[in-house]
Amino acid sequence: MKKLCLAGLSLLFFSSVFAQEFTADVDLRQRFEYRHGYNTLFPNNTDAAAFVRQRARLNFGYKAEKLNVFIALQDVSTWGDTRQIFPSDGNDSFMLFQAWAELSLGENWSTKLGRQVIAYDDQRIFGGLDWAMQGRFHDAALLKYKKDKIQLDLGFAFSQQGESNFGTLYQVPGFFTYKTMQYAYFKKSWESSSLSVLALNTGFQRFEDAPVNTIADGVYYTQTLGSYFTFPAGPVNFSGSAYYQFGDAYPVDQSLSAYQVALEATYKPGTTLYGIGAELLSGSDQGSTDRKSFFPLYGTNHKFNGLMDYFYVGNHANNVGLNDVYAKAVFKTGEKSSLLAAAHYFAANGNLVDNAESYLGTEIDLVYTQPLVKNVKLQLGYSHMFASESMSLIKGGTASDNTNNWGWAMLVINPNLFKNSFKEL
């Protein structure tokens, strides 16, 4: 695999002599984390976790008059997970993150094919998930239209585990891993406002006796339909979204009816940005068989509902939903440095068992960003969850009275290695 990738990169490099533009850049980042209640409540008689996670990504781009090509290779690992003199990377951490080509089809139309990041608007439904070292990609085909301030994208994907002579069984483990996907995205922009509409259909492999994977029995589909908007009202900028999910509920074949609504207002009178907002994601009542839980699917969920990832980051699917009311401020602390401070009030959207109080907890997030030199920045973060007793009802019964906090430090290095233009021969 590595030899094939290196050969492809060599071919891309030498062919760039005939290209209009060739670029190469690096994304290196190392993040130390101290976890004492991150993602879930911290149990008794347990030690805190600490580790360093890193990403090394190489990006290569080629641009011609009617053709764009992009390739991204990356290695994601934890410090110490491969023995120092081991003859190979036994953790198989090297991967092809992106590999796509975009071809012009004439005035205003193009098609983009291959492994690619799909991200729209505030990245609530589709996002690149850059916080996660591995990121998020899709193997998909897009048909794109863009003219002036109008954008239309049509996306298609069909997933298989490999080549086969019989059948199309797709049995890849993963959170909401689709077998087939189709979507339409339309956006209209004005001078200082915008409105977009997304219609998404995702198909998942159906199995008899789900969730026990036994015998494949067709495909069931979930639909997500909604809109995102931005507009100013004097000195205040508003943004918001509303989505409705219906069809079949994943991972069981039952009827789904779920919603998401959000509204945020930001105001920047000087160097400080202030913001308040709320997001409601519907959920099912505990103990109920009704499927009313909204899930934001393929977005950058880390940036929503608190940085400690208690909700919708590898967890909280088919649960009681969430009501999140928050306030935030970004302070300028120096010529280039800044401090983000945010507070979230969490409550269950659905009813908890035994009529328990809906209030789940309050989270405080702090993130300090300091550029060090060109293309290098340091980020420091600390978060604290003040969980209520009700939080334990959705976190496996773990007691909520322990300290739940999380700290991290990340160095991000992203220089451009090469950028040049060549005349075609």
Buried b or exposed e, range 330-358, using 16+ CB within 10 angstroms:
beeeeeeebbbebebebbbbbbbeeeeeb
How far apart, in whole angstroms, are the C-alpha atoms of residue 388 and residue 361?
5
Report the 10 Å Cβ neighbour count for 287: 10
SS3 of the chain: helix, strand, coil, percent, to 5: 5, 55, 40
Please name which of 51, 90, 57 lies closest in space to residue 75, comparing C-alpha atoms: 57
User: What are the tokens at 201?
Assistant: 């259909």
3-state secondary structure of 310: coil
Both tokens assigned to 285:
């009542």
| Whether 114 contacts 100, CB under 8 Å | yes
Residue with tokens 């239209």, as numbered in its chain: 145
Q: Residue 382: which CATH number?
A: 2.40.160.100
Q: How many CB atoms lie within 10 A of CB 290?
A: 13
Could you give the 3-state DSSP secondary structure of residue 177? coil
Single out the residue of 286, 244, 304 nearest to residue 122, CA to CA: 304
The C-alpha atoms of residue 182 and residue 222 are separated, in whole angstroms, by: 11
User: What phi and psi, each to the nearest 5 degrees, are found at residue 140?
Assistant: -150, 165
Question: How far is 121 from 230, CA to CA, in rounded Å?
Answer: 10
Distance, CA of 109 to CA of 33 (rounded, Å): 45
- Residue 222: closest CA among 242, 262, 251, 186: 251
Tell me if the bond preceding 211 is cis, omega within 30° of 0.
Answer: yes
| C-alpha closest to that of 73 among 145, 148, 137, 160 | 137
Find where tokens 């781009």 sit: 61
Quick one: 5 exposed, middle or buried, by C-beta within 10 A (0-12, 13-18, 19+)?
A: middle
Q: What is the pLDDT of residues 8-30, one digit of tens each?
A: 455 455 444 454 899 999 999 99
Tens-digit pLDDT string for the chain (425 aa): 454 455 445 545 544 445 489 999 999 999 999 999 999 999 999 999 999 999 999 999 999 989 999 999 999 999 999 888 777 666 778 999 999 999 999 899 999 999 999 999 999 999 999 999 999 999 999 999 999 999 999 999 999 999 999 889 898 877 789 999 999 999 999 999 999 999 999 999 888 765 555 677 789 899 999 999 999 999 999 999 999 999 988 767 689 999 999 999 999 999 999 999 999 999 999 989 899 999 999 999 999 999 999 999 999 999 999 999 999 999 999 999 999 999 999 999 999 999 999 999 999 999 999 999 999 999 999 999 999 999 999 999 999 999 999 999 999 999 999 888 665 54
Q: Which domain holds residue 328?
A: 2-421
Pairing mode, if any, of strands 254-267 and 273-281?
Answer: antiparallel
**SS3 sequence, 141-164?**
EEEEEEECCEEEEEEEEECCCCCC
Predicted TM-score (pTM) above 0.85: yes
Give 301's contacts (C-beta < 8 A, 6+ positions apart). 127, 129, 309, 311, 312, 313
What the block records as the tokens of 277 is: 């907002």
CA dihedral 4, 9, 15, 21 (to 10 degrees): 150
Chain Cα centroid distance, residue 26: 21
Overall number of domains in the chain: 1
Q: SS3 of 402, please?
A: coil
Question: 420 near 388, Cβ under 8 Å?
Answer: no
CA 128/CA 124 separation, integer angstroms: 10
